[in-house]
Structure 1
Amino acid sequence: MNPILPIDLLVPLLLLTLAGSLFPAWRSTLRSSLPLRLALLACRFGAWSILAVAALNPGAWFRETRNENSDWALLLDRSSSMQVRDVQDSSRWQAAQELAAQAVQSDLSRRAKIIPFSARLEEVLPDAAAAEKLEANGAATDILRSLDELIGRYEGGTRKLAGIILLSDGRQIAAGSEQETALRACAQNAPIYPVCLGGPVEQKDLIVAVAQRHQITFAERQTPLAVHLENRHLGNVQVRVRLLDEDGKELDAQNAALPDNQTARVDLQFTPTEAGARRLQVVADSWPGETDLSNNTTPVAISVLTEKIQILFVEGLPHWDSKFLLQLLRRQPHLQATTVHRVTSERFFRVDLLGGDETETRSYFPDTQPDLNQYDIVAFGKGAEYFLSPERIGLLRDFVQDHGGALLFCRGKPYSGALPELEPLEALQWGAPTARAFRWTPTAAGEQAGLFGVLLPPREAPLWANLPPLAQARESLRLNPFAQVLVEGVFNETAARRLPLLVSRRIGRGLSITIDAEDLWRWDFFPNHPEAGAFYRQFWVSLFQWAASQSEFLPGHRLALRLAPSVVRPGEPVKAVVVGRDLGIGLDAAPNLHMAGPDAKQPTLTLKPVPGRSNEWATVFTLTTPGLYRLEASNASTAALERTTAVLEIRPPPGEEQNVSADPDFLARLAERSGGRVVTEQELAETIRSFAPREVATESGTSAWQPSWDHGGLLLLLALCLTGEWFLRRRNGLL
């Protein structure tokens, strides 16, 4: 209400006027009949009531409004994927043209803006007939960029965008943020209503990939390369896979039978003759009918090390396990092991396995950090408590965490009883011993880590079922943080319960590895299992090589280079971080970072110190040309030149023809986040009607009161009340 007077004043005044009008009317008719008196009183009260309502002035405030100046957009996807004929015997493009014509006909307000797009938004078409002259031949699809450009045209303008109809198959090729685009549309009150055209399409393709894009090896060592092939709808094919060097020379080749819609593994090999970094290519010959030939080739980087892996092997309780292992290490040209073993409580012997003599020593374990940091791997057998003190465990912690060394427990629990100071460096919490037979079974994490399927046979290899079972291990109470199980022990009587047998755990710049099993030497002892003997030798050599390569620093290197991420699309940022470790000679200047590859316009990148981190530098850069790039960090300020490399892969953006299947899920997410939804052809007209101009306040923004009593009916009722009283009084002689 909006009364003509303040309500606290108006109400008493209305009551006084009620009494002042009804009381005289009643007194002036004392000699009349009761019905007449009541009729006159009702007429008088009715008139008063109408006037009281006018004085109280019920109604509502309203602002002056107008219809909003707005358009709605009809986006037509004319990329080449719209040529696919999977919409009722018509192409997607023909279906989009027909729907556009129907949509424009249902737009009675004539506010539709028909705009084609492919890689970006194009000009507005004058009418739907103009779309019939266009062809679906766009080389790429960028729905998100086109929507961003459309929204940008209306931001800050006088005309608004009421909604967007998107006729597309939803194949978003370019990188972009669908959430950001959808939120921009939602902020403009312009929901997106896609109509998905088309469905899934079988793509005929042969895909080649390597299990590990960057491998570490040694000169004159035969190096395996695990290649994975995938056949998509090509039928049964015979594929030739070749390994090529930088000059295109064939290093190895294999033929593989690949059934339709199946995968296969091909093992290639090569033997590097000299140290350094190499870039090789794995090529699978093309097959008729392939839609994408770019994934028939994949690069692989090889780092050939010059320094041997330095191993310190410590054994407090000698056993056949240690004897077999040390004999194996002695025969490896790229491993140099020093062993310290305890003979009695007072006698310790130190042996250089590179042909050195056994010598008795009292300095049986390094007592200073520089002495310990000479090694890449410290391996323990049994009886670690005879060597370790709290001070030496502190040295081990710094060796792993800061220096980037590897700690390997080769024979299960390395100590008897408890050694709480060592527990933070272990991968698991030890439980009770078990003597139940189990089989050695790699896990998916073991393949992802690059140990199995690269250096060792993959999980599906028949070898694992043929290995003799083992029976000496311990239960695990729990895994420590950041631990990964690479091998499980599967009990013969039940496969449900498993033991973690090979566990790795990242600790700072290095890692800790635990083998919770004993008597592995039996695989190499019994002549009935020659396959097991070969695996025993392969396993230990590969494990030491893998452990050294998993450290942040490679053997003999004082610089480490890491890239985040190491696989990107053109134009995406890459962060390169170089870390140095000090072996007594300070790194007093920022290292140099050189880059070689298809688009090395800046062959030298500038590194800047990372705040708060000593001996650590970083830079961020982008590249636009796809290919494999080799980055090399070096530091010439010391007496010897230090070098380390990393590999960066710039993957080409997906092509328009590589996958032409419609993507309704992408369109549904985009629509939902913008406040719209995916619509069908039948819902199109109703959706367009929802784009009717909205009422908005005028620019003046003035408000006015709209009384609810101000209409002719109430005035007529007032006149009837007054006229009725006058008529009754005149007829009965009361005037």
Structure 2
Amino acid sequence: MQTETILYIIIAGIIALSLALFQYLYKSKQKGSLYKVLAFLRFLTLFLILLLLINPKFESVSFYNEKPNLVIAVDNTQSISYLNQAENTSKIIEYLAVNDSLKERFNVEIYAFGKNLRTLDSLNFSEKQSNLSNVFKQLSEIYNTSISPTVIITDGNQTYGADYQLTSSSYKQPIYPVILGDTITYSDLKIEQLNVNRYAYLKNRFPVEVIAVYSGNEAVNTELKISQGTTVVHSERLRFDNSNTSRVVTITLPANSVGVNSFRAELTALENERNTANNIKNFAVEVIDQKTHVAIISDVLHPDLGALKKSIESNEQRSVSLLTPAEFMNNSTAFQMAILYQPNSSFRLVFEELDRLNMNRFLVVGTITDWQFLNSIQSYYQQEETGQTEEFQPELNLNFSGFIIDDLDFSEFPPLQTEFGKTQINVPVQIILNKTINGIQINEPLLAIIETNTKKEAFLNGEGIWRWRSQHFLNTKSFDAFDNVIGKLVQYLSSNQTRSRLSLNYESFYNGNDDVTLKAQYFNKNFEFDSNASLTIRITNDETKSSREFPFVLKNNNYQVDLSSLEPGDYEFTVSVTNENMSRSGKLKILDYNVEQQFLNADVTKLNALATQTNGNAYFINHTSQLVKNLVLDNRYVTVQKSTKNIVPLIDWKYLLILIAMSLTCEWFIRKYNGLI
């Protein structure tokens, strides 16, 4: 407590005592004990009130001991059971969880991981992918400032995400890998990787690249066969030895039938080969009989043009041509839709041609748009002309019902630049993104679609969308989700089909380790999204004819169902709305491929390097007791005594108010009883 505060308290005591003595002893001329009691009560009341006005602050210091954390993360993927380590892994977790010396020295925290990290409740070794890089990323967020040595119980084989040896460099804790699996090297053939485009076009040929790898010392011969159903469409002999351990085989296959075409690549197994699951890889190609050609029309150069082209062409079903207005007029019938970028008076013939062809369009406007021309050439929207620019940020309209849009955290994207002034919309529109300034929505569309009986049109009121694509990559290390949003907009504009009240979003085929998620939207008769509907999907296996039914779950502005539990195969499904005579049907394929069964050994080299670079040690599973001993004896992990200092103002002490009330009450009753009132 400061000296100044103590001085104020002393002065308050003197003032309170003086006033009490003046009223009850000096002024009344009475010297009895009754007046002394009343004087004391008055002094107490006045002093406490003055004390509250001064409001001194008191410090309290408490000490406590903080033990270091021992973080244990265990691999819960199918590769553990495939390497016959499930029982050993369960035993080591049980041993570490109940070990008294560890519990005395550490706060033991146990997690399980596959594709994501979670607190351990049970082990079933059923997860389909392992992402060790994500483990270190999430743990670094939790244990960034504490002492937390980390035990990783795994075979070291990662199937998803960035290289964990690089990611772990940002994790500031010693890592102790416990190595699961066989370390003996066996002769093994493996299809390390198979590269193929997802789409192909009818009557064309598509490339397939197969990377075959051999582990062993002897020279061996095998045959690579690619078959479609029971028909072998390609085969060739391959030879490997200890100096020639890999081959890259590139072939082209014909696309003769529309739809999903399934293939099987297989290396003939060696005699006594232990793991033959990695000799086979199934793949599929969706053959389509048409391609969407998109024209981006502009007479200026801008980074937006490249960003739009990249996003649209990320789907191989679409191609983009960058054209001037004159070039488009020379070949307008070759395109299914047009993007008009910052139109000016040179676009007059383009607008007339689009109207003649009844072609859907996507207008992107910005700081160099000729609004006088654009206001005169169309009547859907009118922009106030001010000659000044403004920056607007996007905000997703969760009630948008045109198609399913994923929230990419649009509100954190950089602003777009456009004309300052009011934008007047003269027709009904569906707003995808609203304009905001400094987080305040101004009830004007930034991105919207217009649908009439004859055509569809999209309108983006801002330039700089290339920054959005770049920002999304910085946030997620991928362009995919952003490109998917642009792709859905292009898909919507490429078709003149009327909207259905029940729309579905799914892939034609999924790889065996993919998350099989189907999304749906359901709208009422006014085409407003209905969040109270009940949707179900009945899915039937084409081969076994067995059917299962799953409910959809509402998530944001769409319904979702997870079908990842389905076995590989071909399926037909029907999505229906409860109590409504409405349904949609489709087909999908799940390929038979288990990436967790591709490994024969633990990755000992990588796990040892991981331990070395983080100042930890690697142990095999039968040396777990030595791990415990070393952790307990390591002087880096000691209990630390810490203190906390709390500063509490007197006004927060509620009992002081009670004491003032009691003092006043007692004084009043005593005076009343003795007839002094």
Q: Give the structure-2-normalised TM-score.
A: 0.40
Structure having the higher helix fraction is 2
TM-score (normalised: structure 1): 0.37
* Structure number, greater radius of gyration: 1
